[in-house]
């Protein structure tokens, strides 16, 4: 099998991240610099993330026929933004492990981890402002607007996610509103920023943003399906099932709203291995699995259709992005 199209970007992204980290924190306390390096997977036992978000920006700029090297500051910015949100999420969700290592708050305590998250948020803006080196002020202003609106959506999504944990009854639209503010908002930000840097028209920017948002929703719902019926969830320990964690994912919300039997069982016990086995049987009597799968298909189609809209005048340009979307949904990335 040939090398995936985005393989060429990875080492360049990693170098750009490390270079920015090194320059921006040249005068900073050594411990603080180390905390960022630890979370990014450059020091300590952890591995680096997939760098999916910067890859998407660079792929879009490349597809627009522009020099993707100039988009590196924006690519670095979205990776920092993603990692800032992971650091704070891990505290909020009491997650102790990420990328094969203790999370930042486990290693350095909650107060320092909150602060390092804030630093990474700042570094995201610092990196984005470096786009001025290659682009006119109007482009950078557009980037800043999209980026800042995305940060707003991310905090809204995170707020709802935490609120929903405690909320008895939820609808599909509650879920979509929440999910739209998380992965979907950030992927939409990446594709929109790539389009802006690719000098696309306003209409094309909107289409590419829709590509990212819909791809993000498809990805998120597929994640929900794997969280219940994925190999790990089905065959592994109960702790790998979203049922056990009480996560309000789309299939669960749908089953709770459509099957009183499922609701009663779920409310009684959803975390013991026996309860999970029983809930999986009750799931079979609902159409929740098929419903969630149909939502994945719907959002995937919407994503690909928006992608084709954006590149009507250059259909060949969609290929690498189409291929990325496919790999992403097949969990091969």
- Residues in the site for a copy of itself, rule: CB under 8 A? 24, 28-29, 31-32, 88, 91-93, 110-112, 114-119, 121-123, 125-126, 129, 132, 137-138, 140-141, 144-145, 148-149, 151-152, 155-156, 158-160, 162-163
The answer for residues whose C-beta is within 8 angstroms of residue 285's C-beta and 6 or more apart is: 259, 261, 262
Nearer Cβ to a copy of itself (83/259): 83
Closer residue to a copy of itself (CB): 253 or 321 = 253
Closer to a copy of itself by CB, 180 or 230: give it: 180
User: In terms of CB distance, is 64 or 75 closer to a copy of itself?
Assistant: 75
CB closer to a copy of itself out of 76 and 304: 76
Dist. CA 72–CA 89, nearest whole Å: 26
Check if the beta carbon of residue 32 is closer than 8 Å to that of residue 166.
Answer: no
Q: Are the C-beta atoms of residues 83 and 40 closer than 8 Å to each other?
A: yes
Smallest gap from Cβ 130 to a copy of itself, in A, equals 10
Nearer to a copy of itself, 158 or 308 (CB): 158
Cα 36 from Cα 104, distance rounded (Å): 9
Total residues belonging to the chain? 333
CA 29 to CA 119: how far, in whole Å? 12
Shortest Å distance, C-beta 80 to a copy of itself: 12
CB of 31 to a copy of itself, least distance (A): 7
Q: For a copy of itself, give the closer residue by CB, 118 or 172.
A: 118
Measured from the CB of residue 319, what is the shortest distance to a copy of itself in angstroms? Answer: 35
Secondary structure element (H or E) that encloses residue 98, with its range: strand 97-98
Q: Which is nearer to a copy of itself, 117 or 251 (CB)?
A: 117
CA distance 60 to 325: 12
Shortest distance (Å) from residue 136 CB to a copy of itself: 8
Q: Is the dihedral of CA 93, 163, 53, 36 positive or negative?
A: negative
CB of 135 to a copy of itself, least distance (A): 12
Residue 202 burial (C-beta neighbours within 10 Å; 0-12, 13-18, 19+): exposed
Go through 13-35 and write b for each residue having 16 or more CB atoms within 10 A of its CB, e for each that does not: bbebbeebbeebbeeeeeeebbb
Q: Do 235 and 221 touch, CB atoms closer than 8 A?
A: no
Q: Torsion angle of alpha carbons 179, 218, 305, 7, nearest 10°? A: 110
Q: How far is the CB of 291 from a copy of itself (least distance, A)?
A: 25
| Shortest distance (Å) from residue 217 CB to a copy of itself | 18
């Amino acid at each position: 099998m040939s090398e995936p199209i985005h393989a060429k970007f990875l080492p360049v992204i990693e170098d750009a991240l490390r270079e920015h980290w090194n320059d921006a924190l040249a005068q900073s306390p050594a411990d603080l610099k180390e905390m960022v390096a630890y979370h990014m997977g450059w020091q300590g036992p952890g591995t680096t993330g997939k760098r999916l978000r910067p890859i998407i920006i660079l792929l879009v700029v490349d597809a627009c026929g522009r020099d993707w090297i100039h988009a590196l500051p924006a690519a670095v910015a979205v990776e920092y933004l993603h990692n800032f949100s992971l650091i704070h999420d891990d505290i909020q969700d009491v997650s102790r492990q990420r990328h094969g290592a203790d999370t930042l708050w486990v290693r350095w305590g909650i107060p320092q981890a909150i602060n390092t998250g804030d630093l990474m948020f700042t570094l995201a803006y610092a990196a984005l402002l470096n786009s001025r080196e290659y682009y006119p002020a109007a482009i950078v202003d557009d980037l800043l607007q999209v980026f800042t609106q995305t940060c707003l959506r991310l905090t809204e999504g995170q707020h709802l996610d935490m609120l929903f944990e405690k909320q008895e009854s939820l609808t599909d639209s509650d879920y979509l509103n929440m999910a739209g503010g998380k992965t979907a908002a950030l992927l939409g930000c990446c594709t929109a920023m790539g389009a802006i840097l690719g000098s696309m028209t306003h209409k094309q920017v909107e289409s590419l943003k829709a590509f990212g948002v819909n791809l993000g929703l498809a990805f998120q719902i597929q994640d929900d399906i794997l969280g219940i019926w994925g190999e790990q969830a089905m065959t592994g320990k109960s702790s790998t099932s979203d049922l056990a964690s009480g996560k309000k994912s789309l299939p669960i919300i749908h089953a709770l709203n459509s099957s009183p039997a499922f609701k009663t069982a779920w409310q009684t016990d959803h975390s013991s291995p026996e309860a999970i086995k029983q809930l999986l049987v009750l799931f079979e009597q609902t159409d929740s699995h098929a419903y969630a799968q149909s939502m994945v298909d719907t959002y995937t189609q919407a994503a690909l259709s928006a992608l084709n809209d954006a590149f009507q005048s250059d259909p060949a340009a969609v290929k690498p992005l189409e291929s990325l979307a496919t790999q992403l949904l097949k969990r091969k990335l």
